[in-house]
Amino acid sequence: MKNFLTLAAFFAVLSIQTATAQCDEIADQCEMNLAKEYISDGQFYRALLYNDQVAEFELSLFGGNTYRIAACSGMDSGNLVFRLYDQEHNLLFTSSDFSNAPYWDFVVENTMQCTIEAQLDLNKQQSGCAVLLIGFKK
Amino acid sequence: MKRIIYILAPAMLSVPLLTGCADDAAQNAQDESAVTVDEAQNAVTSSLVKIDSEIFSLPSPIQTAILMHKKEISYREELLNPLANEKKYINQYQKSLNMGVYGADLAYLSNFNNSQKKLDYFKVVESLATDLDIRNNIDQSLIDRFAKNIDVQDSLYKLNADLFKAGDKYLKQNDEDEVATLILAGGWVEALYLAIDAADQDDSFKTRIGEQGFAVNSLVNLLKKHDSPQTIELAGKMAELSKQFEGLVINYAYVKPITDAADKVTYLNSKSNVQISEEQLAEIARQVTEIRKSITQ
């Protein structure tokens, strides 16, 4: 049993290492989800996820704006689930309802303080670098 | 075998994790994996483990510039950080903050017709990016497009955003998170400074200023991750500023969103408003002006 656990830890380390190396590539790929009409917020969000870990991102969405959130992990789209909550933790959106869509647009009526939770779809990927990009329309 | 893991894990991880996507989460993973097998097993079986809950987004100065354009805010050159100040910035702390400041000024300038001024401010941003070792790691074609599109407002907004995103990406990939945070901080302070002035021309900016309370808290949290004396001092000033926002009344009412799956869009219909008195605005303005002065002079 001990040997099995040791091996499990070994491979966990190895998979994290591989995921780390892929971070840059994923970022480049994810940028393609921010279409031309979206202006980047100038920031690059990422977190290294293993198994069922959840990365949490805080952001303000300003009223009167349309935002695009792009979320990626791995070189195939749909490996990452992202959920958007408001400041009272009401679930506003989850990409899992839409085949883990790699991007989604949000039309914001009034300013909201939101939280994004990002988590790997364990059916597709066990570890990896989660990249989030946010853009807004002029 | 357990001993082998102790020896191998740090050695295996040290190079790639330090040169790649070495954020706090990776560091945590490294630490955890090298401790004990039992802990590794716990990590595997745990449920909804939240990692690094301190990833914060700051509003882009370009959003403020776009709002100014929509509200037809008039140009006031005296608001800009003078180009001549650049030579005062001799260390990494000053250069980082003021790269953000000048970037926000460039976003503001995008709204007006003054090609030479825009080019001059772009050159200062580029110069500071060079000093911070960012410039050589940004795609040359992005830089080239600035000169070609200096009078195309939409392109200039986008190029400015892309430049700062490329810089942010490079810095985070190379464990220069403090520089990345200071650039963001400088841009946020300058954009707020410009918005405060615009509030004299259009009331909608009072609301936008009041809505920055969440952002200033994010900024405090981002700055507090770093331990250089100047950054700690700046975090203290931002924490003082955040107290002013705590006094504002913010009303929020959840309304169920509507999703259009075909167009991949969700309409967030919740209601909110912020109440800010003239006195509160004046105190926020006073503190922001002081902080901005400490950054630019």
- Render pLDDT for B19-52 as a digit per residue (tens, 0 to 9): 333 344 334 443 333 333 333 333 333 334 555 5
Instruction: Determine, for residues B41 and A47 on separate chains, whether the beta-carbon distance falls below 8 Å.
Output: no
Is there a contact between B10 and B34 (Cβ–Cβ < 8 Å)? Answer: yes
pLDDT at B133 over 60: yes
CATH number assigned to the domain with residue range A2-137, chosen from the 4 options 3.30.70.260, 2.30.30.60, 2.60.120.380, 3.50.50.60: 2.60.120.380
Mean pLDDT of B128-148: 91
CB A39 within 8 A of CB B157: yes
Selection from B269, B171, B148 nearest residue B226 by Cα: B171
B83 touches chain A (CB under 8 A): no
Give tens-digit pLDDT for B220-267: 999 999 999 999 999 999 999 999 999 999 999 999 999 999 999 999
- Give the CA-trace dihedral at B11, B12, B16, B22, to 10 degrees: -80
Dist CA A30 CA A34 (whole Å): 8
End-to-end, the C-alpha distance of chain A in Å comes to 58
- Chain A neighbors of B155, CB-CB under 8 A: none
Residue B51 and residue A106: Cβ atoms within 8 Å?
Answer: no
Q: Which residues in chain B are contacts of A87 at CB distance < 8 A?
A: 252
Which residues does chain B have within 8 Å of residue A52's beta carbon, measured at their own beta carbons?
A: 46-49
Mean pLDDT of chain A: 87
DSSP of A50-110 = ETT-EEEEEEEE-TTEEEEEEEE-SSSTT-EEEEEE-TT--EEEEGGGGTT-SEEEEEESS
A interface mutation test: which of B4, B19, B45, B60 has the most A CBs within 10 A? B60
* Distance between CA atoms of residues A109 and A72, nearest Å: 26
% of chain B exceeding 90 in pLDDT: 75
Residue A1 CB coordination number (10 Å): 7
- Asked if B7 is an interface residue toward chain A (Cβ–Cβ < 8 A), one would say no
Longest distance between any two alpha carbons in chain B, whole Å: 70
Query: What does the pLDDT read at residue B278?
Result: 96
Q: What is the DSSP string of B106-141?
A: HHHHTTS--HHHHHHHHHHHHHHHHHTT-GGGS-HH
DSSP assignment of B245-284: HHTSEEEEE----EEETTTTEEEE--EEEEE--HHHHHHH
Residues in chain A: 138
**Nearest residue, CB atoms, A42 vs list B168, B257, B267:** B168
Sheet with A54-61, strands from edge to edge, namely: A91-94, A80-85, A112-120, A54-61, B50-56
Please list the residues that pair with B206 across neighbouring strands: none
What are the pLDDT tens digits along chain A (138 aa)? 666 666 666 665 555 555 556 778 888 889 899 888 999 999 988 888 999 999 998 899 999 999 999 999 977 888 999 999 999 999 999 999 999 999 999 999 999 999 999 999 999 999 988 999 999 998
| Long-range contacts, B249-258 (Cβ 8 Å, 24+) | B249/B274, B249/B275, B250/B210, B250/B213, B250/B274, B250/B275, B251/B275, B252/A86, B252/A87, B252/A88, B252/A112, B254/A86, B254/A88, B254/A90, B257/A92, B257/A93
Q: How confident is the model at residue B62 (pLDDT cuts 50, 70, 90)?
A: very high
The nearest alpha carbon in chain A to B259 belongs to: A93
Out of B5, B158, B215, closest to residue A10 by CB: B5
CB contact under 8 A, A98 and B264: yes
Please give, rounded to a whole number of angstroms, the shortest distance from the CA of B23 to a CA of chain A.
7
**How do beta strands A112-120 and A54-61 pair?**
antiparallel
Q: Which of B71, B242, B268 to mutate to test the interface with A (most CBs of A within 10 A)?
A: B268
Q: CA separation (Å) from A52 to A81, A115, A125?
A: 11, 18, 10
Cβ–Cβ below 8 Å for A50 and B218? no
pLDDT band at B14 (very low <50, low <70, confident <90, very high): very low
What ipTM describes this predicted complex?
0.88
Q: Is A37 on the interface with B (CB under 8 A)?
A: no
3-class secondary-structure state, position A123: coil
Q: What is the pLDDT of residue B48?
A: 45
Measured in degrees and rounded to the nearest 5, phi and psi for residue A78 equal 90, 15
Taking the Cβ of residue B20 and every Cβ of chain A, the question of whether any pair is shorter than 8 Å is answered with: yes
Query: Among partner residues B1, B21, B164, which is closest to A42 by beta-carbon distance?
Result: B164
Say which DSSP state A31 is in. Answer: H
Residue B250's DSSP bridge partners are: B274
Strand partners, A116: A57, A84
User: Taking CA atoms, what residue in B is nearest to A58?
Assistant: B56
* pLDDT value at residue A82: 96
Rounded to 5°, angle at Cα A69 from A53 and B251: 90
**DSSP label at residue B174:** T
Mean pLDDT rounded to a whole number for chain B: 85
Q: Is some CB atom of chain B closer than 8 A to the CB atom of A46?
A: yes
> A27 to chain B: which residues are within 8 Å by CB?
169
Please report, for chain B, the start and end positions of each structural domain, with discontinuous segments joined by +: 2-45, 61-243+277-296
Would you give the distance in Å from CA A20 to the centre of its chain? 15
Query: Taking 60 as the threshold, does the pLDDT of residue B132 lie above it?
Result: yes
Cβ-based burial of B75 (10 A; exposed 0-12, middle 13-18, buried ≥19): middle
Predicted pLDDT at B24: 40
Residue with tokens 């650039």: B183
Among B63, B143, B232, B129, which Cα is nearest to A134's?
A: B63
Taking the Cβ of residue B254 and every Cβ of chain A, the question of whether any pair is shorter than 8 Å is answered with yes
